[in-house]
Structure 1
Amino acid sequence: MCSVSRIWEKVCTMAEGGSHYCSKKTDDICGDAREDSSRTLSMTRLKCILRGADIKAYIFLFMLIPTCVFVIYMHGQKITYFLRPLWESPPKPFHEIPHYYHENVSMENLCKLHGWGTREFPRRVFDAVLFSNEIDMLKIRWKELYPHVTEFVLLESNSTFTGLPKPFVFSKIRDQFKFLEPRLNYGRVPGRFRAGENPFVEEAYQRLALDYLLKQAGIQDDDLLIMSDVDEIPSRHTINLLRWCDGVPPVLHLRLKNYLYSFEFLLDNNSWRASVHIYQSGKTKYAHYRQSDVILADAGWHCSFCFRYISEFIFKMKAYSHVDRVRFSHFLNPKRIQRVICKGADLFDMLPEEYTFKEIIGKMGSIPHSYSAVHLPAYLLEEADQLKFLLPGNCLRESG
């Protein structure tokens, strides 16, 4: 018991910064503690420590704990994303197919360069999309693909993926697409409006409905089917290559240049969700996830959040499947959104979704400005006056 007493005396001395405040010689509470019961002894020791603690330690703890809670609340998502390489491995890499193209090279030679044969006649092509409110991007897409697409298939719902009601926008603007009316297959699907449901469930429901609309449009085996969102636009020459060549993989992903807000902010070349399928009845299902390990390089453009009006940014932030990223109401402030767009920063104040610390650190911060408008969709340059907000140097948006 004497040895315990000596150890405790040293602890008390350290708590007081080296003084003998709690020693037997100067403090009756600590000195008599060994004579009390075990419960009394514990309480006595606690009082001894509290007496000996420096007031600065109390202030430090009082400030530290709320600060930690605040930092986790404000930046917990960033911390999780930064530590992602510790708990998640990168996906299996794609087998990359080099993409050869020049306007003066024959289709026979282009197919040969890819290791494919040449068909006697091209496949029919079906382009199928789910539509929300991306009017400008839809027009750029269909103008780009018009020469080589047999049927355009568009499905629209009166519900967002998050269950918010929305009007049937395309019905009001259909007259703007008279140039492809004979090839247009337009369908509607009523929303399910399930409060609190995972947004990806509603998204899957709408994509399933698109399968039925494709059958109504007359798709058949060996037709070419483009599966991608409205803002994931395959280049015209890519689709022409795939419809003329024989030996193309039955499911082929397309690597797209990845832009944010406009064609001024080139994020990377890693957009891969767009895909092209050689249709097989009973097997091909419309989806927006990885479906093969083969990808064709430099096959088009993905322009995410490329809207004309600030109100459209706000609508999509609340409507799409990743609505959980809107962690604070001020994220939807129009002035903040405008600042973020012109800066090339992240609307949701998130870190890059990467799998190595090198990639995460390399992509942190704002996206560098690009001043190149070379090899962009033709219609974008033909209608530059109307679509200048998508070109370099025009980041200011209308309120809408």
Structure 2
Amino acid sequence: MSGGYSNSKKTDDIYEKVCGQQASFAALTMSRLRCMLRGIDIRICIVLLIAIPVFMFGIYLHGQKITYFLRPLWGSPPKPFHEIPHYYNENVTMERLCHLHGWKVRESPRRVFDAVLFNNEIDILALRWNELSPYVTQFVLLESNSTFTSLPKPLLFAGNRHQFKFVEPRLTYGMIGGRFKKGENPFVEEAYQRVALDQLLRIAGIEEDDLLTMSDVDEIPSGHTINLLRWCDDIPPVIHLQLRNYLYSFEYHVDNKSWRASVHRYKPGKTRYAHYRQSDIILSDSGWHCSFCFRYVSEFIFKMKAYSHTDRVRFPHYLNPKRIQDVICKGADLFDMLPEEYTFKEIIGKMGPIPHSYSAVHLPAYLLNNAEKYKYLLPGNCRRESG
């Protein structure tokens, strides 16, 4: 009985000395840890050991989503465009249409040059050129044997040029060799190719006050929009085109916020081919933007590897063909991303799959006239060939 009391008292004295900093440095260091552990529940330690790795793994998987969702806290929306109402009806004269927009009609239309960088969008290019063919003076296309991410690629347009005989007399085609600089920012290669496109436009014979459309292949201005701008005087020197935004096909209407396409009254020495905001003026409802609108699953995979935002392919399974097919039919996001918006209301409103649209009204005429050939672009046809 007395021995037990003596041992207990001795232990208490040791702790008093240690916790009271009366021991040596080595003993102090070790015993402080013991003092701390005396007050910690072992269950809390276990929970922390499990929770911290799970939290870090969640950040690894969904960090990009968290960043996009919190965007309204650190990002501010760009300056709003001055939006011009767009008037059109096939039974209204051009003089009247120009007047409705506050412009005057010309005695003769301006020449129009349509210039694009080409990657692998053969079908979309066919829709674009057939839509614009009646109004374009010269089609200008630049193709490279390299993607923006320095992957080698075949010259697909050159191999399919026979499909575009209807524009051959009006076509200026150029090929540029890629620089294949591994690890370089993809936007550097993209800018390099756009500078080359400037040179190709001069070879095509563009002159002052000609109209130049600047847009990616899948950003398709409607024919009547280009016809309006070529016939009207006093149009802005640079005007952006508001396009209906679609994903995978014309079944998935995202919004009407596509704005990068633009039309310029060409100024030698000043006009530079670009794909960013160059004006505060935008013309409403001016065409279609059909992003990732491919016939084959293999084309989806190639585009995901090739385009400038390759950092969005964060995990190898994103490129799995079965996953890609499931994503297309659900109207979900290929990169498992949240919407790139600037308010919580818009982000939450766009979360989840894109609603199906069964309207095929006001789509490119060539698409509807060749519906069997391009049925994968129309509502109710989400299944893709493997390629």
TM-score by length of 1: 0.92
CA contact (8 A) 2:174 2:200 kept: yes
Q: For residue 59 of structure 1, what is the amino acid of its counterpart?
A: I
CA contact (8 A) 1:144 1:235 kept: yes
SS at match of 1:385: coil
CA contact (8 A) 2:240 2:261 kept: yes
- Equivalent-residue separation in structure 1 for 2:265 and 2:106 (angstroms): 14
Cα deviation for residue 180 of structure 1 reads 1.1
Residues 285-329 of structure 1, C-alpha deviations (whole Å, 9 max, x = no match): 000000010000000000000000000000000000000000000
- Equivalent-residue separation in structure 2 for 1:187 and 1:277 (angstroms): 21
CA contact (8 A) 1:228 1:288 kept: yes
SS at match of 2:189: helix
Residues 159-187 of structure 1, C-alpha deviations (whole Å, 9 max, x = no match): 00000000111111000001111001111
What corresponds to 2:158 in structure 1? 171
- Equivalent-residue separation in structure 2 for 1:25 and 1:105 (angstroms): 105
Q: 1:36 aligns with which of 22, 29, 43?
A: 22
CA contact (8 A) 2:17 2:23 kept: no
Q: For residue 32 of structure 1, what is the amino acid of its counterpart?
A: K
What corresponds to 1:284 in structure 2? 271
- Equivalent-residue separation in structure 2 for 1:368 and 1:232 (angstroms): 21
- Equivalent-residue separation in structure 2 for 1:76 and 1:183 (angstroms): 49
CA contact (8 A) 1:25 1:31 kept: no
Give % identity.
75
- Equivalent-residue separation in structure 2 for 1:164 and 1:107 (angstroms): 47
Matched, 1:136 2:123: yes
Distance 1:49 1:146, change over 3 A: same
- Equivalent-residue separation in structure 2 for 1:291 and 1:346 (angstroms): 29
What corresponds to 2:282 in structure 1? 295
CA contact (8 A) 1:254 1:297 kept: yes
What corresponds to 1:378 in structure 2? 365
- Equivalent-residue separation in structure 2 for 1:30 and 1:243 (angstroms): 91
Matched, 1:354 2:341: yes
Cα deviation for residue 357 of structure 1 reads 1.0
What corresponds to 1:5 in structure 2? none
Matches for 1:307-326 after TM superposition, within 5 Å: 307-326=294-313
- Equivalent-residue separation in structure 1 for 2:37 and 2:377 (angstroms): 64
CA contact (8 A) 2:115 2:215 kept: yes
Gaps of 5+ in 2: 1-7
What corresponds to 2:212 in structure 1? 225
Distance 1:344 1:25, change over 3 A: farther
What corresponds to 1:64 in structure 2? 51
What corresponds to 1:334 in structure 2? 321
SS at match of 1:362: helix
Residue-pair matches, total? 378
CA contact (8 A) 1:29 1:44 kept: no
Q: CA RMSD in A?
A: 1.4
- Equivalent-residue separation in structure 1 for 2:14 and 2:100 (angstroms): 91
TM-score by length of 2: 0.95
Distance 1:311 1:37, change over 3 A: same
Matched, 1:102 2:64: no
User: Which range moved further: 30-39 or 247-256?
Assistant: 30-39
What corresponds to 1:10 in structure 2? none
SS at match of 2:157: helix
Q: For residue 243 of structure 1, what is the amino acid of its counterpart?
A: R
CA contact (8 A) 1:326 1:348 kept: yes
Matched, 1:236 2:223: yes
User: Which range moved further: 322-331 or 166-175?
Assistant: 166-175
Cα deviation for residue 158 of structure 1 reads 0.2
Q: For residue 253 of structure 1, what is the amino acid of its counterpart?
A: H
SS at match of 1:139: helix
SS at match of 1:188: strand
- Equivalent-residue separation in structure 2 for 1:393 and 1:226 (angstroms): 32
Cα deviation for residue 55 of structure 1 reads 1.6
CA contact (8 A) 1:24 1:30 kept: no
Cα deviation for residue 46 of structure 1 reads 2.0
- Equivalent-residue separation in structure 2 for 1:25 and 1:56 (angstroms): 29
Cα deviation for residue 68 of structure 1 reads 1.1
Matched, 1:90 2:77: yes
Residues 94-132 of structure 1, C-alpha deviations (whole Å, 9 max, x = no match): 010010111111111110010001100000000000001
- Equivalent-residue separation in structure 2 for 1:170 and 1:120 (angstroms): 37
Q: For residue 210 of structure 2, what is the amino acid of its counterpart?
A: D
Q: 2:99 aligns with which of 101, 108, 112?
A: 112
Cα deviation for residue 49 of structure 1 reads 1.9
Cα deviation for residue 358 of structure 1 reads 1.1
Q: For residue 364 of structure 1, what is the amino acid of its counterpart?
A: M
- Equivalent-residue separation in structure 2 for 1:47 and 1:355 (angstroms): 51
CA contact (8 A) 1:29 1:48 kept: no
Matched, 1:250 2:250: no
- Equivalent-residue separation in structure 1 for 2:49 and 2:236 (angstroms): 63
